[in-house]
Structure 1
Amino acid sequence: MKNQVAVVFDSAGTLLHMYRVAKDGSTGMILENVQSTLLVARKPHRALVVINANLEEVSYCDPQLTLHNLIEEYDIKLDVSCASRPFGLDEVYGIIRTSNVCVSDLNDVVSIVRGHCPDTFYLAAGIIVDAEENVVPYVLSTGGRMYSDTPVTIKLLQDMGADIFIASGDGYENLEKLALSVDIPISYVHGVANTRDKERIVRELQETYDLVVMVGDGMNDILALKAADVGILTVQQGDERPQVLWEAADVIVNNILEVTAVIENLSNS
């Protein structure tokens, strides 16, 4: 017998308000309030790679240490969280080996995020790799804090009887902290989930639940929005979004709290 409703949330930009910074590898320019998924989507052979490192420890490393050597010396794990086509880690490591990206580049973007968002819920760093040009075009850092309505939204949905899941490209350490803060079971958290993973998660839940709702805000949510019984696009982050993403959603909301009204109407229909 199926359960009634499952609601799957993306995290960055959906449950969390994000501040993102990118450093252009070719010019050294700092780009603020970027959408990392759009930087990936601009070209057909790009991927967003999460650097699973203790950023506090990285800040004390030799600024001239290359990213390649940093990864090897400290056994740092990488994850592909979003890609414009299927991407393997071997391919990522191959690009990094020839790159001049170093610790100072990571520190530059991380320090800007820390300065702009001293009360961040979490802090992360990553890179974008381009397999066609064999370069690292951008070094990234992201800080996030919960929207003020996130906890009450989750609580209201749970009170309605919905099971709440998280499917996100973010790493597990940050996602576990988020899940514990809003009483989502850790077993319901899917981290380092790329675009196709999110779609798969939605389809697997459809085998168990009568209604599966996907709530997301970016291009890495597009397949899951289409696959879900109801796809909800939230534009609370305020970033520019391509028309194809708007068209993939069944419902558009300006505030995450509006998701509760959508679910209540669906449950009563």
Structure 2
Amino acid sequence: MQKRIAVVFDSAGTLLHMYRVAKDIVTGNIITGVESTALVAQRKGRALIVLHTEPAVILSVDRSMRVIDFIDDHGIAIDISCASIPFSLDEAYDIIKDSDIRVGDILQVVDVVKFHCPNIFYVAAGIIVDSNDHSVPYVLSTGGRLFHDTKETIDKLKARGIDIYIASGDSRRNLRQLAGCIDVPMERVYDIATTREKARIILDLKEKYDWVLMVGDGLNDILALRAADIGVVTLQQGDDRPEKLQSSADMIIMDISEVIGIVDSI
């Protein structure tokens, strides 16, 4: 009897090759090649806030406008993508409200991403808040494009009868575009998934499937990797992965296509 198998993929750095840029609000320095979850993990009390808006909307307003005024005036929804401790949206909103960050700060990092990645899949913007000193230490932007073998890998897995899921801290707007490209139904896409929510998703799926695999590349995947029947860390993004992350996995791969071999071995 054939086993029922589900594979859950993170998006950024797993299905998508990412280019990430942050701005240090205190120094004004632009930092390239950063990992947003690592900036959050640097200090307890931090959270990554996602702005649910298109870059075109941000581009349409005065760069000198305060970000909180932009959020309020345009009815921009915000969400917590990941946090180093339990964090409320109200607390995040209050920190942004009391900060002096401007739309121009966000556009500065968006512009760098778009310049370096002209054929980018999507561009997203975010804010890191810190409850320790009630501050915004960083704003950041990320852009992603499919790895060259992402679609082929997903197609081969589906041809084997494998059910594909996406669990990501990214917004539903961006994930809808990704899911459409690789033909994953939106009912199998989990957006704004925190570290604990990813683990809960895995545990829920284990009630329905004989085997559940989690494939990820970030610190916010650790609990899901441990909860899965097989936790897989991918190093395809090419940057250094923390030892804590790698040690949480059952397997480490260099290319997403290796997931096919793992599934075939079950």
Please indicate, yes or no, whether the TM-score normalized by the shorter chain is above 0.5. yes
Q: Secondary structure at the match of 1:236?
A: coil
* Structure 2 partner of 1:140: 140
- How does 1:49-198 map onto structure 2 within 5 Å? 49-198=49-198
Q: CA-to-partner distance for each residue in 1:35-64, whole Å, 9 max, x for gaps?
A: 110000011100011111121121121111
| Aligned residues between the structures | 266
Over the matched positions of the two proteins, sequence identity in percent amounts to 52
Alignment match, 2:250: 250
Conservation of the 8 A alpha-carbon contact between 1:22 and 1:109: yes
2:22 corresponds in structure 1 to: 22
- Decide which moves more: 149-158 or 238-247: 238-247
Distance 1:53 1:174 in 2: 10
Check whether the contact 1:68–1:97 (CA below 8 A) recurs between aligned residues.
yes
Give deviations 1:14-42, integer Å, cap 9, x for gaps. 00000000000100000001011000001
1:38 is aligned to 2:35: no
Measure the CA separation in 2 of the matches of 1:129 and 1:239: 24
Q: Structure 1 pair 255/100, CA: closer, same or farther in 2 (3 Å)? A: same
Q: TM-score, normalising length from structure 2?
A: 0.98
Counterpart AA for 1:188: R
Task: Give the aligned residue type for 2:116.
Answer: H
Give 1:3 shift: 6.3
Q: Is the 8 A contact 1:2 1:208 kept in 2?
A: no
Letter in 1 for 2:18: M
- 1:133-162 per-residue CA deviation (whole Å, 9 max, x = no partner) reads 111100000000000100011011111111
SS at match of 1:245: helix
Q: CA deviation at 1:109?
A: 0.4
Structure 1 vs Structure 2 CA RMSD = 1.2
CA contact (8 A) 1:2 1:210 kept: no
Report if aligned partners of 1:226, 1:249 keep a CA contact under 8 Å in 2. Answer: yes
Number of the residue aligned with 1:263: 263
Runs ≥4 in structure 1, deviation > 4 angstroms? none
Letter in structure 1 aligned against 2:168: S
| Deviation of 1:189 (Å) | 0.4
CA distance in 1, matches of 2:169, 2:114: 21
What is the alpha-carbon distance in structure 1 between the residues aligned to residue 73 and residue 3 of structure 2? 48
Give the C-alpha shift of residue 2 in structure 1: 10
Q: Give 1:215's aligned residue.
A: 215
Unmatched 5+ stretches in structure 1 = none
**Quick one: structure 1 residues 66 and 214, their matched pair in 2 at CA, closer, same or farther if it must change by over 3 Å?**
same
Structure 1 CA distance, aligned partners of 2:158 and 2:236?
Answer: 22
